[in-house]
Every structure is written in structure tokens, then in C-alpha cells.
Amino acid sequence: MPITELLERNAAQYGDEVALVELNPEIQEVRRVTWKEFSLTEPMHAAAFRREITWSVFNEKANRFANLLLSRGIGKGDKVAILMMNCLEWLPIYFGVLKSGAIAVPFNFRYDTDEIAYCADLAQVDIMVFGASFIGRLEPIADQLSKKCLLIYAGEGLTPSFAESYTELTANASSQNPEIPLTDDDDGAIYFSSGTTGFPKAILHKHRSLSHSAKVEQAHHGQTHDDVFLCIPPLYHTGAKMHWFGSLISGSKAVLLKGTKPKYVIEAAANEKCSIVWLLVPWAQDILDDIDSGKIDLSQYDLSAWRLMHIGAQPVPPSLIKRWKSVFPNHQYDTNYGLSESIGPGCVHLGVENIDKVGAIGKAGYGWETKIVDPAGNTVPRGEIGELCVKGPGVMTCYYRNPEATAECLKDGWLFTGDMAREDPDGFIFLVDRKKDVIISGGENIYPVQIEDFLRQMDAIKDVAVIGMPDRRQGEISAAIIEVKEGYTLTEDEVNEFCLKIARYKRPRKIIFAEIPRNPTGKIEKPVLRKRYCVENLVARENES
């Protein structure tokens, strides 16, 4: 059953109930400063930083956009890009695309002008809906894009001259369901890979993938109609949206929070009575740091509704969860593993009942199969390291317009993830590292995640990334880039002394103190670090010689 039918059902059953809330505390803080500066006494209107829509309004907005698209000749097989920051309009636009029968194509909000042009061309976009933050990035290529697709502006203020107004276009469109027949075998969405090895690849999914992800999310986290989900990550990413699908399938409220400051998260969870919060590793660390430092006083907040904290998008340090449980002992904890090629989170799942296995990503998720294979594709014995493969209804159809890349990772229905993993005696899967991130030093395989998890046990370390650096003698050596917590000090000698506890070949040969770059989904941007430090190292060596 296509997920558009779930929206129709929610509008019929829960029409007057709140579906989505948008919170923008950053606007709230700016206006507070403004009041103080100009000695204003009028109380701030709540609507300035909090908006909401009901399920019936959500559905009507989706119908209006769908009917607008149909009036412009858009239908099955056509592609509609969404280039917007998280807001109340995002999901109704997404569902409007699906209801028209077209393919939704969310764009990463970090794309620069060249990446926008590249992805629009790769996905053969027919219409692009964009927000105010992207006017400057689109202006240089507006003429180029306009030859191939219609540009629609869905933001505040004046509509740019190169676009049409979303508000004006949808005002007179019908709010009735367009009744376009959809099946699970129809193409539903194109998502883009992270682009960590170059420009992104376009990942094509059928409606079956979207529907299955909703079932997976509810099966794993047991969403009921009374739950409230706090959504912080960007909706363009499969992770955020597929976790929100748990709210869709249960007809429950979700809160879209703009901003990731610890205070924002805690205030939103308390004020909106959130029961489920999905965090990324750095956000969880920041929350705990602010609690430890006294910046956040938990006694000032009612967080009694919060039942589940879960993390995904990257390996989770066991030390972080141990620390979290010491502060929030009543929270259930879970982690989900997935990738955009498997429609996001859930193809591997830990489960709240397996808290004793923290550090593992879990076992095959609801409706999924897993295996770990050697380079020849043979399943390895438990305990041995190999490449993780997954199979299920959420596997992508293909890399759109890239048969070579598709053939490399899709084999007999199995998706080869590129992640190295092992199974413990109980069948729980532990990530070892990305296949491309493995460091080969003097013939030994070094898995950076293992060293990163070890180093995070140091109280002074906020974040750490281990990469391989070119070395004449060893081929590569491991380098640890370490971000130190605010208020702490750490020296290279202290790190080296701590590393005496691990095998000699695993010890970082170079220590660098610097900030760790992460993308919007919380993943460490190791290509950025390699470019920054490996190139510098090569230049230094050339100068020496």
C-alpha cells in the first residue's frame, strides 16, 4: 500500500489533530536580543517561532500541490526536486509529488551551485521547488535550469524573477485527492548518496521501499497514536524521513526542530511532551556536556514523556550510551543501521531489549536479511570480518542512469553495503569500518572505528577521527584527529600513553588536535580530513626531499 494512502487515512480519522509542529528557537533568540536592545516591552508572539498544521490541512496542501503538478503536465515518470530547509511545507510538498504519480527528488541543503546543477541533470528534474536559503545558489544557473525545468519558489518574501510562486500557484489548485492510481511497483523517489567519493549518485526507490520503511519503523519502535516524535535531522535524508514514517503510520504528532543546540533539544522535548527523540552522536555528546557543565539544569524541565532515545547514521561509542543511561536511566535506547540504498534506517536493528549489546548495530531488521561475505562473495564464519550485505523490500531499484555502479553493489537481490562487519557468537553484527576507510599499514589491516571507539574513552576527547596517511616505509600510517572538549586540556604524550593499552600496530602514529567535520547526518567527513592532512603530509615530505 503506497504511503499516500496512510496520509488520506490520517486526514479522515484524525483530521483536526496536530500532525506537524515547526519550532525555530533561533528566531526566538534573535528577537529576544532585539527587544533588549531597543527596550521593547511587547511579549513575543508564539507564532513567530512555532507553527503547526493538522492532518486535514497537511493532506489538503499535498492535494493542492499534486493537482498543480498535474495541471502542468507532470505525472508518472517525471521528477520533482525539493531543495528546502526543514519546515512545515516540506512534507506536504513531498506527498504532493507522490500523489501526482511523479518521483520525489530531495536535494541536500548543503549542495553548492555546481552540485545542484549536476544532480538536477543526473536525475532529469522537471520541476524544482526551493526555499529562500537557495536563491543565491540558484541565480548563477537559473537560465540553465529553466531550459529544462520549472523553478517554483516556496519561501518568504518576494519571488525571484527566475521562478514562480508556490503560494500563488497552489492557492487556486483543488484540495481534492487527485486519485492517481499508485502501486508498490511504481517509482516513488530518488535520493542521493552522500557523495563522499565524488559527486553523488542518484538512488531510485519504488513505492514499495517507502511503505516498507514505515512498517519497519513502527515494528522497531512501537509508535502509537499518543507518541510525539522530535525530528531534528534534515528531511532530505532518508534517515529523518523514514523515522518520521513511524508518526505517519500511527497518525501521531511530530515536531520539526530547527537548530541543534542542546538547550533547543531539551526545551522542545519538554514543551512539546516528546516521547521519541532521534539524535546523532555529536548532538548526544553536546547535550551530556552541557548537563555536566551546568549549562542545562534538568530539574527545570519536565521530560517525563520521553521514553526512547535512538541514534543512527554512524557507529555509536558504547561509552556514550553508558554515560547517557547514567543521566537518563529511564530512557530506552536503540540504534538502527541503514543507508540510502536500503531506504535509510532499519535494515539492521539493535532493539531496546538488547541494551547489553550496545556497540553492535544489531541483527537483521523487520523484513530484512543479512550476510557477511569475503571478497569472493562467500559467507564468512562468525567472528571473521567481511562485507555486510542486506536484502529486503527496501533495497533500491538501481543507481539511476548508472548501470556500472548498480552492478557493483546489487547482486542477486543483495545490496553490498561497502561496510566491513563481523558477527559475535550471538549473531549480533558489529561494524568494523567502511571498506574504503580500512588502513593497510605494513601489511596489517587497521580498522579506524576500533581505534576511535577506544580513544573516546578518554574524558577529554569530544570527538575523534582516524585516517590513513601515506608513508614511504609502511605504505600508510594511522593518524588520529582529536577534538578536545571545552574546558579540558590534552597533550600528545597523554594520548600516546593511553594508547599503550592497545596492540602496537593499532596505535596512532600521528596525533592532530583539530575540529572534526561532520555532514548534516552526523557522519565524519573523512574525505575532507584526508584532503586536508594527507596532502599537507605529502607536500611536507616532498619539501624534505
For residue 45, what is the domain's CATH number?
A: 3.40.50.12780
Domains contained in the chain, number: 3
Q: Of 241, 259, 277, which closes a domain?
A: 259
Residue 25 phi, psi dihedral angles, 5° rounding: -65, -20
Check: CB of residue 277 under 8 Å from CB of residue 231. Answer: no
318-334 tens-digit pLDDT: 888 999 999 999 999 99
- Whether 115 is in a domain gets the answer yes
| Same domain membership, residue 109 and residue 92 | yes
Q: Of 434, 466, 492, which closes a domain?
A: 434
Residue 193's pLDDT band, with cuts at 50, 70 and 90, is confident
Residue 425's pLDDT band, with cuts at 50, 70 and 90, is very high
- Whether 287 is in a domain gets the answer no
| Same domain membership, residue 245 and residue 343 | no
Strand ranges (E), 280-411: 308-312, 332-339, 344-349, 363-364, 369-373, 386-391, 398-399, 410-411
Between residues 64 and 35, the one the model is more confident about: 64
What gap in Å lies between CA 237 and CA 87, rounded to an integer?
A: 14
| Same domain membership, residue 155 and residue 32 | yes
At 129, which amino acid appears? V
| Same domain membership, residue 215 and residue 243 | yes
What gap in Å lies between CA 283 and CA 518, rounded to an integer?
A: 11
What gap in Å lies between CA 40 and CA 45, rounded to an integer?
A: 13
Average pLDDT over residues 133-140: 96
Q: Residue 61 corresponds to which cell in the numbers above?
A: 496542501
Between residues 449 and 91, the one the model is more confident about: 91
DSSP state letters, 450-509: HHHHHHTTSTTEEEEEEEEEEETTTEEEEEEEEEEPTT----HHHHHHHGGGS-GGGS-S
Q: Of 218, 235, 259, which closes a domain?
A: 259
- Whether 272 is in a domain gets the answer no
| Same domain membership, residue 469 and residue 414 | no
| Same domain membership, residue 429 and residue 486 | no
- Whether 284 is in a domain gets the answer no
- Whether 299 is in a domain gets the answer no
Q: Residue 221 corresponds to which cell in the numbers above?
A: 519502535
- Whether 519 is in a domain gets the answer yes
**105: domain range?**
4-259
Residue 420's pLDDT band, with cuts at 50, 70 and 90, is confident
Check: CB of residue 222 under 8 Å from CB of residue 276. Answer: no
| Same domain membership, residue 12 and residue 88 | yes
What gap in Å lies between CA 521 and CA 313, rounded to an integer?
A: 6
**Residue (of 423, 358, 359) closest to 387 by Cα position:** 423
- Whether 105 is in a domain gets the answer yes
Between residues 282 and 198, the one the model is more confident about: 282
